[in-house]
Structure 1
Amino acid sequence: MIEVMIVEDDPMVRDINSKFLERIDGFKLCAAVASLDNARKYITIKKPDLILLDVYLPNENGIDFLKWIREKNIDVDIILITADKSIDRIQEAFRYGAVDYLIKPFNFERFKEALLQFKSRHEQFKKNQEIEQPDLDRLISNPGAIPQSDDFAKGFNKYTYQSIWNEIEAHHVGDFTADVLAEKLGIARVTVRRYLEHMEKEKKIKKQVEYGKVGRPQFRYHKL
């Protein structure tokens, strides 16, 4: 279970982000605090794996907290969640090791994408002592995970695509069905099937037809 601390002074936003987190398997909220003083205290007690960090806090700046974490050599990853859209701030965040940057307001799909991307890297790094370049490239940039064709742009949402693909990569070594993915991700079954058909055309997955004694045939998929 990945332990997460939320640092956000707005109680409504803090509550929304906490509820978003509850909807994603594999994550547990260990603390939700409104100030950097409390964040510094809890980070030594709770030792979270990930911090969802706001930039604008009363008389404080989340980037200063990020710098303090790096100065203290604390092993924790940071996702910035903020209304700050300035390029200078974004560059500064990444220079000090932020793994993602969400600009408010954002939807659940984008939040989920950030968490699942982190989870994929976290699990890979935790179970492997070494990694080959192609696997590292995929974890860093996830090349090819989101197609850029015109057909994709016209008919699909890249964050929904990414959520489905992340779930397939993380949890489905053998066969799986659209129904299983739909239930796991909270996405309509008809939507999941449409994305799976698209992935099959990209030759990322293969579909098999399973005929039962009664009812319609069931489609099963596996990753190539």
Structure 2
Amino acid sequence: MADIKVLIVGLEIIDANIDEISGFEVVGIGINRSEVFELLNRKKPDLVIINDCVPDLSNVELITFTRKEDLPIDFIIITAITNSTTIKWALRHGIFDYICKPFIIDRLKDSLLSYCEFRRKLTCKDALNQADFDKYKGKVPFPQSPNFT
């Protein structure tokens, strides 16, 4: 499987940490709106790691644009915004992970490894079963129960 192309938005400091993880390639770092949209267009990233400190681009604007354009991009958000309304919005828009600041780099690395495993499963199988999904989401499966149909 080819390396996962990562665009970093507003977090230059994490670039070196991502490069340490096998299977990922940082294809760019955008620190303002024009850079981010140019990199999205030119580099076609698989994953965008976004911070809420880009002065002229909000997380909502970026995610809404990619969803509206049906771009095949996943997101990890690193933010100090912890209100439930924002988190619910992010989850409803298909965010892979939401990491609250302050954070430790190992938390991001765990997220990236989970993302890598999830993509691997999606590309090597024609269909996922419930156990695959439960493992990805870290859920404990329900005990066997009779089928209710």
TM-score under structure 2 length normalisation: 0.86
- Mapped partners of 2:5, 2:94: distance in 1: 18
* Aligned residue in 2 for 1:3: 5
User: In the alignment, which of 14, 21, 32 is matched to residue 29 of structure 2?
Assistant: 32
Higher mean C-alpha deviation, range 33-42 or range 115-124: 33-42
Contact 1:5 1:50 in 2 (8 A): yes
RMSD (Å), alpha carbons: 1.3
The structure with higher relative contact order (CA 8 Å, sep 6+) is: 2
Distance apart, 1:119 and its partner CA: 0.6
- Mapped partners of 1:16, 1:47: distance in 2: 22
Alignment of 1:38-57 (within 5 A): 38-57=35-54
Identical columns (%) = 26
Q: Does 1:116 align with 2:113?
A: yes
* Aligned residue in 2 for 1:87: 84
- Mapped partners of 1:104, 1:36: distance in 2: 22
* Aligned residue in 2 for 1:67: 64
Distance apart, 1:72 and its partner CA: 0.3
Contact 1:55 1:63 in 2 (8 A): no
- The one-character-per-residue Cα deviations of 1:114-156 (angstroms, maximum 9, x if unpaired) are 10111110111011111222112212x2235xxxxxxxxxxxx
* Aligned residue in 1 for 2:143: none
Contact 2:33 2:56 in 1 (8 A): no
TM-score under structure 1 length normalisation: 0.59
AA matched with 2:4: I
**Higher helix residue share:** 1
Distance apart, 1:49 and its partner CA: 0.8
- Mapped partners of 1:75, 1:23: distance in 2: 24
- Mapped partners of 2:118, 2:33: distance in 1: 27
* Aligned residue in 2 for 1:135: 132
Contact 1:5 1:30 in 2 (8 A): yes
- Mapped partners of 2:83, 2:14: distance in 1: 22
Distance apart, 1:36 and its partner CA: 2.4
SS in 2 for 1:40: helix
- Mapped partners of 2:59, 2:117: distance in 1: 25
Distance apart, 1:40 and its partner CA: 1.4
Distance apart, 1:102 and its partner CA: 1.0
Q: Which of the pair has more CA radius of gyration?
A: 1
Contact 2:6 2:48 in 1 (8 A): yes
Q: Does 1:103 align with 2:103?
A: no
- The one-character-per-residue Cα deviations of 1:144-177 (angstroms, maximum 9, x if unpaired) are 5xxxxxxxxxxxxxxxxxxxxxxxxxxxxxxxxx
AA matched with 1:6: I
Q: Which runs of no fewer than 5 residues in structure 2 stay unpaired? A: 141-149
Distance apart, 1:45 and its partner CA: 1.1
Q: Does 1:125 align with 2:125?
A: no
